[in-house]
Amino acid sequence: MWSTEDVARDAARRQGRGLSTAQVAEKVAEAARREQETRRQLDAPTETEIGPFATDPEHLAQLWAAKHTEWRRIAALLKTSGEQAYDPDRDAQGVTWAQERHARRQGALDRHAAWMRERQDARDELRTQIWLPADTSRRLRAIAARAGLQPEQVITQLADHVRMDEDGAVVVAPFTPHRVEGS
């Protein structure tokens, strides 16, 4: 859901709160060092076994490059603003990016919730195929034709009217099949 830049920006905002200009410079230097290390690892891969918990070296290199870029941006912000310490709330660009990340995350959560509701609705639906004897089928078609419906629509309405009495017997009160708006 988040790009490597999003992850780097979020981490820098969280870790950078209250850091002085000198401390931010240390973060820039550390990110530069880690970026170089991960790039070297990509250029000269080792014969290490990649297990289920091993990190993707390419993703790690991209992440450190993004962190390096973000820490340099914060250092430049401190220099131009004259602030002595980093305050993420006063970082207009950082706030904008954080709001965009939040909006994307919320959109993804909303889409997932809608998808889950659709799946639940689909689970609650019943789709069936029934085989009726010829005489029963002819009667159903005749009833449907008189009502201006398809046989499946009559069966759906029949199912809507089915009740179970106290003895467990299935009972259908008399009803007139009718057209339903939207069908």
Residue-wise pLDDT tens for the chain (183 aa)? 688 999 999 999 999 999 999 999 999 999 999 999 988 888 776 655 555 656 778 888 999 999 999 999 999 999 999 999 999 999 999 999 999 999 999 999 999 999 998 888 888 777 888 899 999 999 999 999 999 999 999 999 999 999 999 999 999 999 999 887 765
Q: Where are the beta strands (DSSP E) in 24-173?
A: 162-164, 170-172
**Whole domain around residue 157: which residue ranges?**
128-183
Domain boundary among 76, 98, 124: 124
In this structure, are 116 and 137 located in the same domain? no
Are residues 92 and 26 part of one domain?
yes
pLDDT at position 114, please?
94
Q: Are residues 30 and 65 in the same domain?
A: yes
Domain match, 33 and 111 both: yes
93 and 14 within one domain: yes
Q: Is the Cβ–Cβ distance between 95 and 89 less than 8 Å? A: yes
Q: Are 43 and 101 in contact (CB under 8 A)?
A: no
| Domain final position from 105, 124, 143 | 124
Give the three-state DSSP class for 172: strand
107 and 162, same structural domain?
no
Nearest by Cα to 31 from 81, 73, 2: 73
Query: Considering its fold, how many domains does the chain have in total?
Result: 2
